[in-house]
Amino acid sequence: METTLIIFKPDAVQRGLMGRIMSRFEEKGLQIVGCKLMQISQDLAATHYEAHKDRPFYKSLVGFMTSSPVLVLAIRGNNAIAVCRKMMGATFGSNAEAGTIRGDFGVSNSFNLIHGSDSPEAAERELKLFFKDGEVLNFDRAVESWVYDMSGGKPE
């Protein structure tokens, strides 16, 4: 099981899409193990996006991410990183397939609604930026055996 960071960006929050987007992850069978509404500081945004520091869009990205509250989630599931990224769709809403979050709710190439960790290493780093020790929970769900085939001893 993997745990990944998902951020509903300011446009998703301002457009009132948090519940609709979150329900997609839950309906898929993924487990929400951490959740908080927060205002990202300039320092946190700069740290989170430091890999893009030399890119032309960096300043506007940091400005956008600090312009309004965001909803930050820790989501767990079998191959959660790949599953979540597939659900999110292509980076630009205008290119995203129907049925994906960006494809169904976005058309902008600047405002793309959602961020998701792109690797296990990124997820580990990003989760530590947004969640303190004890804020990402471990708990059993009765539904787990109906989400995953566990007959082989591991989730499939």
Rg of the chain (C-alpha set): 16
52 is a catalytic site residue: no
Q: Tokens for 33? A: 């193990």
Give the type of residue at 124.
Answer: E
CA atoms within 13 A on the CB side of 84: 32
Q: Tell me the helix, strand and coil percentages in the chain, rounded to 5.
A: 40, 15, 40
Choose, from 101, 115, 123, 130, the residue flagged as catalytic.
115
Task: Report, as residue numbers or ranges, the catalytic residues.
Answer: 115
